[in-house]
Amino acid sequence: MGLAVRVPAELSARVPAEQRGPGRGRDDVRLLVSRGTAVSHHSFRELPALLRAGDVLVVNTSTTLAAAVDGRLGPEPGGEPVVVHFSTRGDDGRWAVELRKPEPSGSTRPRGGGPAGAVVRLPGGARLVLAEPLVPGGGRLWWARVNEDVPGVLERYGRPIRYGYTDRDQPLSAYRTVFARPSPDGSGSAEMPSAGRPFTARLVAELVGRGVRIAPLSLHTGVASAEAHEPPYPERFEVPAATADLVNAARAGGGRVIAVGTTVVRALESAAVGFDGPGGVPRAPAGGTAVRCGGTVRAVGGWTDLVVTPARGVRVVDGLLTGLHEPEASHLLMLEAVAGRPALGSAYAAAVRGRYLWHEFGDLHLLLPEEGSHRTHC
């Protein structure tokens, strides 16, 4: 898609909000609100006043993994130093991984994957063997087998994935949200579901006190690699029955369904009746024009390859709370599907003028329906 805005490098959030000054907290970020092309400026702590009783905030409970591990590619002794980013756990026990080149600053830069059969030596004696590209013909992410329990390797030797726009490594706690819950099999997200990061227990209590419901689901995010901007790969998700019930009740009663993060949009729209994707998940029709249908959600889990675009539209989600994305990012197609391109262009121009901060430690953007707008029931 691409937006006709340039984001200056100094607008990258380099440290978490709570490290930007004495007495600061996670919720000390700004909130840009879009209603159509109209924008307004707020603090994130004003969020409860911007929502209303009967709204449902749907949140991602996937926990962030310490998914970056140092390794050596090739035979002993020596070998090429690499950083392995563990992206996604497959149903067969393999992991999708990305190999990166380490930088002296502690961040990494891109490196081609492969070849098949290559061995990466990990700390503690573990061995990773590359098998095949995740996508035929692709070269960045590869399926790999590891001879030890990967969650255990990550717990002992891993650190959070970090990109070059941040100042330094942060503890894993900085990359986990108040909603994060461990998965029984050790799965989780390679990169933080960052739209949930500014929430605190106090803010959640205020939302609930105002009659806003909080509904959980999980979608385990893979690596995004900020340089690439590809559409998302298939990811594992689960929408529980209780969440499906809350969403359907809100829609029937006139409440709004607000997704906290693009991961939540992907999961909810994959669970909308009428989408028939891999593993029996309902799939959206190809093509067409953007519509907001009065769809229902069912309890479902598995893998989704859904990419939400303006042509596909959204069927369940009324609003979206998200971070600020690069102007070339594929996520912007999803935002356009929710709010429309004019609204998105207006918001991003305002964010640059207002010196909002980008990326996972940055400010937030709330896209709400225009006042008086109505869903199309189809």
Mean pLDDT of 89-109: 91
Side chain identity, residue 3: L
pLDDT over 90 for what percent of the chain?
Answer: 72
Query: Is 265 in contact with 235 (CB distance < 8 Å)?
Result: no
**What distance in Å separates the CA atoms of residue 329 and residue 262, rounded to the nearest whole number?**
12
Residue 370 banded pLDDT, cuts 50, 70, 90 = confident
Query: Is 221 in contact with 129 (CB distance < 8 Å)?
Result: no
Query: Is 302 in contact with 282 (CB distance < 8 Å)?
Result: no
Identify the residue with better confidence: 372 or 112.
112
Task: Give the helix/strand (H/E) hosting 335.
Answer: helix 331-339
pLDDT at residue 374 tops 70: no
CA 192, 195, 200, 204 dihedral sign is negative
Taking the CA atoms of residue 303, residue 306, residue 307 and residue 308 in that order, the dihedral angle to the nearest 10 degrees is -130
Would you state the pLDDT for residue 276?
A: 46
Residue 2 banded pLDDT, cuts 50, 70, 90 = low
Would you state the pLDDT for residue 224?
A: 76
Query: What are the pLDDT digits (tens) for 125-176?
Result: 999 999 999 888 777 899 999 999 999 999 999 999 998 889 889 999 999 9
CB under 8 Å to 45, separation ≥6 — which residues? 27, 203
Would you state the pLDDT for residue 285?
A: 32
Average pLDDT taken over every residue of the chain? 89
What does DSSP assign to residue 234? P
pLDDT at residue 287 tops 80: no
Query: What are the pLDDT digits (tens) for 183-197?
Result: 988 899 999 999 999
pLDDT at residue 360 tops 70: yes
Query: What are the pLDDT digits (tens) for 4-56?
Result: 788 999 999 999 999 998 989 999 999 999 999 999 999 999 999 999 999 99
Q: Which of 61-65, 186-190, 279-283, 324-328 has the highest mean pLDDT?
A: 61-65
Residue 369: which region, alpha, beta or left (left: phi > 0; alpha: psi -120 to 50)? beta
pLDDT at residue 277 tops 90: no
Q: Which of 198-212, 219-233, 293-307 has the highest mean pLDDT?
A: 198-212
Strands 319-323 and 257-260: what pairing? parallel
Q: What is the DSSP string of 148-216?
A: S-HHHHHHHH-B----TTSSS---GGGG--TT-B--TTS--BSS--GGGTT--HHHHHHHHHTT-EEEE
**What distance in Å separates the CA atoms of residue 190 and residue 62, rounded to the nearest whole number?**
10
Residue 229 banded pLDDT, cuts 50, 70, 90 = low
Side chain identity, residue 177: T
Mean pLDDT of 275-285: 40
Would you state the pLDDT for residue 373?
A: 59
Lowest mean pLDDT among 92-101, 111-120, 283-292: 283-292
Mean pLDDT of 208-218: 98
Would you state the pLDDT for residue 282?
A: 37
Interaxial angle between packed helices 262-270 and 331-339, expressed in degrees from 0 to 180 and rounded to the nearest 10: 70
Q: Which of 73-77, 124-128, 271-275, 292-296 has the highest mean pLDDT?
A: 124-128
Mean pLDDT of 223-233: 69
pLDDT at residue 218 tops 60: yes
**What distance in Å separates the CA atoms of residue 304 and residue 234, rounded to the nearest whole number?**
5
**Residue 253 tokens, joined:** 């009663």
For the chain, the maximum distance between any two Cα atoms, rounded to a whole number of angstroms, is 68
Q: Which of 212, 228, 260 is nearest to 326 (CA)?
A: 228
**What distance in Å separates the CA atoms of residue 91 and residue 235, rounded to the nearest whole number?**
11
**Residue 340 tokens, joined:** 């429309």
Would you state the pLDDT for residue 260?
A: 98
Query: Is 32 in contact with 365 (CB distance < 8 Å)?
Result: yes
pTM of this structure: 0.90
Query: Is 42 in contact with 200 (CB distance < 8 Å)?
Result: no
**What distance in Å separates the CA atoms of residue 230 and residue 40, rounded to the nearest whole number?**
31
pLDDT at residue 362 tops 50: yes
pLDDT at residue 291 tops 70: no
